[in-house]
A = this chain, B = another copy of it.
């Protein structure tokens, strides 16, 4: 199995200013390709520290991130040139890209920024579509390869997708990792663990089932590490367990791999030719924003209304005043009226609403912070759900968004109020 090391360069990482996340995503990519990441070193923007890492590295693949910007504290390019014993030369295409990049933003390419187009002689230049600084690929003098990437996370991901992963796949990594991810929503970890106990009891030692919970998804990852030549022999066993896994947690599955809940729902709405409208109180636009984050959402999102006050709930969503007076804004009848009202007013096929107390203030003994009502209205009726989340505002908003999407998912799969 081939080995890798990552060197994350940046003073901001060592003073706790910026959380280092690039190594994490690169680690996932290396792992999925059967490479063994032996070490990550986080080091300052200082030539001696960078040189030391490069000189000590014996891994097949070395990756640096950071220190490629135009400001004075960045010194990765210069350090590499000194280490390699070459000069920095201007790369015409990198310069042309930077000129376009800056022109598009109506910004001048000043001499400071232009320094980013200078690269160590002999390095392969990895041009970026999403950032000014190009990356580099360098054959290390003592053997092995070095990929030099920027520090900005999406620039790292872009250059990894475009250059690093294809290069690794072309040059072979030795191992085989079969890794599939099942994405679930609506069931807590303990519930899935109970459903999966009979399967987990029978897993062979080199086959692992991992639970990866987050606010928006509970992912189940089935992983097998094997030598490349052994995979065909192991595949039937893996496939059988993968099928059993899906069968056991069936109703909670919304997708696999990198599927996003909002993307899956968007596909379903688009396929059926349905348009949805959002009526939000406690989520304040976050529910609409989540759906709109999906490319092409304009085909199936009609629009939305953020109605904090009772007046706007009445005026923009036709919520009857007596419901608000009798039950309060955070209540099942109001959640239902909001969903039905936005569906009607915006001429949509479906209406989805949230109303709750996100906190930190506003709670009462009967409706504590974290109380949320939501409803989904459509041609086949209206379905409402109640949740009691926690005291943290941002997590309450996030959980409410996910719960509302799950309610829509259930509605679309044909679940109806009892």
Chain A residues with a Cβ under 8 A of chain B:
11-21, 23-31, 37-44, 49, 69-73, 102, 104-110, 112-113, 129-130, 152, 154, 179, 188-191, 193-194, 197, 200, 208, 210-213, 219, 221, 223, 278, 280, 283-289, 291-293, 295-298, 301-309, 311-312, 316, 346-347, 359-362, 388, 390-395, 397
In the assembled complex, how far is the CB of residue A276 from the closest CB belonging to chain B, in whole angstroms?
11
Tell me whether B40 and A27 are in contact (CB under 8 A). Answer: no
Assuming A154-B395, A284-B289, is B309 touching A302 (CB within 8 A)?
yes
A14 with B27: CB separation less than 8 A: yes
What residues of B have a CB within 8 angstroms of the CB of A360 in the complex?
295
Nearest chain B residue, comparing its CB with the CB of A73: B210
Residues of chain B within 8 A (CB-CB) of A316 are: 303, 305, 316, 346
Tell me what chain A mostly uses at the interface: helix, strand, loop, or mixed: mixed
Select which of B18, B105, B288 is within 8 A of A306 by beta carbon.
B288
Assembled-state Cα–Cα distance A18/B152 (Å): 20
User: 10 closest Cβ contacts across the A-B interface?
Assistant: A284-B292, A285-B288, A16-B28, A285-B285, A16-B27, A304-B306, A40-B42, A286-B289, A285-B289, A15-B31
Distance in angstroms from A10 CB to nearest chain B CB is: 9
Which residues of B have CB within 8 Å of A70?
189-190, 193
B20→A24 contact, CB < 8 A? yes
What's the least CB distance linking A293 to chain B, in Å? 6
Q: Please indicate the chain B residues that have their CB under 8 angstroms from the CB of A20 in the complex.
A: 20, 23-24, 40
Contact A24 B28 (CB under 8 A): no
Residues of chain B contacted by A39 (CB below 8 angstroms): 14, 41-43, 49
Q: Are B295 and A210 in contact, CB atoms less than 8 angstroms apart?
A: no
Q: How far is the CB of A188 from chain B (nearest CB, A)?
A: 6
CB A181 to nearest CB in B, in angstroms, measures 8
Chain B, Cβ-Cβ closest to A32 = B16
Complex Cα distance A81/B386, Å? 41
Distance to closest chain B CB from A201 (angstroms): 10
Q: How far is the CA of A395 from the CA of B394 in the complex (A)?
A: 21
| Bound CA–CA A110/B17 (angstroms) | 41
Closest to A56 in B: B56
Cα distance, A108 to B280, chains bound together (Å): 31
A-B CB contact pairs (8 Å), 26 listed: A14-B27, A14-B31, A15-B223, A16-B25, A16-B26, A16-B28, A16-B31, A17-B221, A39-B43, A39-B49, A109-B190, A152-B213, A283-B292, A284-B292, A284-B301, A284-B304, A286-B286, A286-B289, A286-B292, A286-B293, A288-B288, A295-B361, A303-B309, A303-B316, A305-B306, A312-B346
